[in-house]
Amino acid sequence: MVQLRCLTLGILIGITTALSARSIQTINEDKAKEVAREQVVWNGRLCPFSTFALGFLQSVYGKSSYKGLSPEQVVYGWLLRPEVWKDEPMIHIPEADLQRQLHIEGEYAKFSELFDDTLGYKLNTLGSDLPERMRQMARESSAAISLDEKVGDIILLTRGQLFKPRPADMKPLPSWQVEAEILWNNTPSWAILVIVAVASLLVFFLRKAMKRPLKAAKIA
């Protein structure tokens, strides 16, 4: 906890408000690149902060950037200014039926839209106008569960519980692995598909080439 507090205080130095057309408050690009290399424990494994931030953003928003901001900037925006970020439409709800039930316009909801001063957490009242059996089905649907997980991740993040800095007694990742992960995280999805396709072709032709000498040997 002390380490997390120190890390957050260090990040405050790099905070800026002029990052996008809407001036969403978070850290600047240089600070984001710096914290990307910090090592954290997430989902039981040690990884660069870049890997955690990308995983969080893709899970909640479904994309690898938000309004031109990097995953690191998004995460620290939530950590430092949750009262601002709760009104950003970045929680992806692709299911039209769930959008309708929650009175959400479009595929993206604000965190604040999912809570009501009177009813509380809207997912808890999902299907309240339906018979008990159908109400239970609505709340246990895959769409509702997925949304609940996204909301839960945001809550855990703002509480400082979704990840933790690398403990002092834990062996750090080698620098080459950190840089390799960051490079992979920053590679566009289309480029990854091209790399996979080229690699698959190379393996195919390599295997084919290796079989030819064997056939020749059998004939001889």
Strand duo 115-116 + 120-121: pairing: antiparallel
Q: Is the pLDDT of residue 17 over 50?
A: no
Q: How far is CA 157 from CA 52, 53, 73, in A?
A: 11, 11, 14
User: Across the chain, what does the average pLDDT equal?
Assistant: 83
Query: How far out from the chain centre does Cα 171 lie?
Result: 25
The per-residue pLDDT for range 171-196, each reduced to its tens digit, is 999 999 999 999 999 987 545 555 66
The per-residue pLDDT for range 51-104, each reduced to its tens digit, is 999 999 999 999 999 999 999 999 999 999 999 999 999 999 999 999 998 999
Sort 163 into a burial class: Cβ within 10 Å, 0-12 / 13-18 / 19+. buried
Helix axis angle for 71-80 and 49-60, nearest 10°, is 80
Q: Are 56 and 69 in contact (CB under 8 A)?
A: no
Q: How many Å apart are CA 9 and CA 17, to the nearest integer?
A: 17
- In this prediction, residue 172 carries a pLDDT of 97
The per-residue pLDDT for range 126-153, each reduced to its tens digit, is 866 655 655 666 667 899 999 999 999 9
